Amino acid sequence: MAKNNEVIKTPVWLNNPVVVQILGICSALAVTAKLKPAIVMGLSVTIITALSNVVISLLRKTIPNRIRIIVQLVVVAALVTIVSEILKAFAYDVSVQLSVYIGLIITNCILMGRLEAFAMQNTPWASLLDGIGNGLGYAMILIIVAFVRELFGSGALLGFQIIPQSWYVTNGGWYLNNGLMIMPPMALILVGCIIWVHRAKNEELQEK
């Protein structure tokens, strides 16, 4: 088995869940119009993937093979529900902001993918690292896409105006926000560009 160090590094770059495994694309389209929700979503997925990986890894020897997907789903759904309930009670503002994404976390294919492919065969510690690594790999792509989309689509980053107001056509300047950037298709195009760069840098991933 690969060393722990590699378990956490591989999914961030060489085996990135979004650009190599092509998992979690749907949420990458939905939450990357602005940088802030992208960061929050990336962190939430990292935490939930790591936790559910550990739980499934602890249970892996007892889970009946025929209902393993159901068991994984129940664990993920229960974890997400508990986290959401705790947020509602102790950090209501955050839970309001996250309301849309909580559901998206349960359906995120990265979670089920990692549980099935990794946590079912590996020790809790390695699974924890794998969960964190995959979560970070996912968060990294989300943040890159959201950075570009918010900067060129809204002229801002994290809500702070970056492109000077005086440049805008409405204020007598020459600049216009790119409306296509905040549309979902642009996220797909940007992910495509990232995959292109990523493949170009990693020759072993190129299909002959």
Partner 1 sequence: MAAKKFKCTICGYVHEGDQAPDKCPVCGAPKDAFEEIAEGVQAPAKKGLNTNSNVYTIIYAAVMVIIVAFLLVFVSSSLKERQNNNVIQDTKSQILASLNLAPADVASAYNDYIQMDWLMKEDGTLVKNENTFSTSYKSEFNAGRLHIFQADVDGATKYIIPMNGLGLWGAIWGYIALDADKSTVYGVYFSHASETPGLGGEIATEYFQKRFAGKTVVKDGQIVLNVTKYGTAKDASCQVDGVSGATITSKGVNSMISTVLESYKPFLLSK
Residues that bind partner 1 (CB under 8 A): 1-2, 10, 14-15, 20-21, 30-31, 33-34, 37, 61-67, 70-71, 74, 78, 81-82, 85-86, 88-90, 92, 96, 99-100, 113, 116-118, 149-150, 153-154, 179, 182-184, 202, 204-205, 207
Give the nearest distance from C-beta 188 to partner 1 in angstroms: 15
Residue 99 or 171: the one with the smaller Cβ distance to partner 1 is 99
142: its two tokens: 């989300």
């299909």: which residue's tokens?
207
**What is the C-alpha separation between 147 and 157, in angstroms, rounded?**
7
Residue 86 or 200: the one with the smaller Cβ distance to partner 1 is 86
Residue 2 or 193: the one with the smaller Cβ distance to partner 1 is 2
Give the nearest distance from C-beta 193 to partner 1 in angstroms: 20
Residue 180 or 193: the one with the smaller Cβ distance to partner 1 is 180
Give the nearest distance from C-beta 140 to partner 1 in angstroms: 17
Residue 164 or 184: the one with the smaller Cβ distance to partner 1 is 184
Give the nearest distance from C-beta 10 to partner 1 in angstroms: 7
**What is the C-alpha separation between 96 and 82, in angstroms, rounded?**
15
The CB density around residue 170, as the number of other CB atoms within 10 Å, is 8
Give the nearest distance from C-beta 67 to partner 1 in angstroms: 6
Q: How far is CA 138 from CA 66, 82, 90, 109, 195, in A?
A: 29, 23, 27, 11, 13
The amino acid occupying position 69 is: I
Beta strands in the chain (DSSP E): 156-157, 160-161
Q: What are 160's strand-pairing partners?
A: 157
Of 197, 65, 94, residue with least CA distance to 144? 197
